[in-house]
Chain A
Amino acid sequence: EPEVTQTPSHQVTQMGQEVILRCVPISNHLYFYWYRQILGQKVEFLVSFYNNEISEKSEIFDDQFSVERPDGSNFTLKIRSTKLEDSAMYFCASSELGGVETQYFGPGTRLLVL
């Protein structure tokens, strides 16, 4: 069964460093999403992406965040200058279409900023 994959599973970085989280969505899906979940807290929407551009973003998704689909298969989330409060689990998700389509989540990347 097709699934969303994410790499790395864990990432430790120093405050101020740039990190890139990678996701491979399900191959025929057209909509892509990033979410984050700070330890012990609820999942929060970051951004949705369709047709090579951002379709929605939350207040969390400020100028230090960016997303890209560099090669038609990968979908990346870049954090330019990490802060301690960026420590969280980051989930990528994809759906065949937008709206009420089922979103399939990846296993997540655990980011720890020291």
Chain B
Amino acid sequence: KNQVEQSPQSLIILEGKNCTLQCNYTVSPFSNLRWYKQDTGRGPVSLTIMTFSENTKSNGRYTATLDADTKQSSLHITASQLSDSASYICVVSARGAGKSTFGDGTTLTVKP
């Protein structure tokens, strides 16, 4: 069964600090991995998309890594801002299938 596990479940950091969120998956055959940011009560917003051949992708202060061998991904946020407070969701899609498997998300709180 395809699964996506994220850790930690929640995280509190001080403004300006960096943090790293983890995603492990068992989706096969792998097609792509996406990281989304979801503010409370809003739709997810795409941060990065990576395919099998990509091992890092940046979008401003967000940098995602992918290790397709160990089936792990991370999202690193640098110089956090209060507006980074949100749920960060890892989504993995299987090759040949349009449907995606979502993780439970990591709830990040950035405090002043």
Q: What is A's interface to B at a CB cutoff of 8 Å?
A: 4, 33, 41-45, 48, 55-58, 89, 91, 93, 98-100, 102-108
Question: Do residues B32 and A100 form an inter-chain contact, with CB atoms below 8 A?
Answer: yes
Report 16 cross-chain contacts, Cβ distance below 8 Å, ordered by A residue.
A4-B43, A42-B102, A42-B105, A43-B38, A43-B44, A45-B102, A55-B98, A56-B99, A58-B99, A91-B44, A99-B31, A100-B31, A100-B49, A105-B44, A107-B42, A108-B43
Q: What is B's interface to A at a CB cutoff of 8 Å?
A: 31-32, 38, 41-46, 49, 51, 89, 91, 97-105
Instruction: For residue A96, give the distance in angstroms from its CB to the closest CB of chain B.
Output: 12
User: Assuming the A-B contacts A43-B89, A100-B31, A100-B51, are A56 and B98 also in contact, with contact meaning beta carbons closer than 8 angstroms in the complex?
Assistant: yes
> SS class of chain B's interface: helix, strand, loop or mixed?
strand
Contacts of A44 in B (CB 8 A): 102
Interface contact tally, CB-CB below 8 A: 50
| Central interface residue in B44, B91, B103, by most chain A CB within 10 Å | B44
Contacts of B31 in A (CB 8 A): 99-100
Contacts of A102 in B (CB 8 A): 46, 49
User: Assuming the A-B contacts A55-B98, A100-B32, A102-B49, are A93 and B105 also in contact, with contact meaning beta carbons closer than 8 angstroms in the complex?
Assistant: no
Question: Do residues B105 and A105 form an inter-chain contact, with CB atoms below 8 A?
Answer: no
Contacts of B32 in A (CB 8 A): 99-100
Complex Cα gap A55–B97 (Å):
9
For A3, give the chain B residue with the smallest CB separation. Answer: B43
Complex Cα gap A45–B103 (Å):
12
Contacts of B49 in A (CB 8 A): 100, 102
Question: Do residues A104 and B105 form an inter-chain contact, with CB atoms below 8 A?
Answer: no
Instruction: For residue A86, give the distance in angstroms from its CB to the closest CB of chain B.
Output: 18
Contacts of B103 in A (CB 8 A): 42
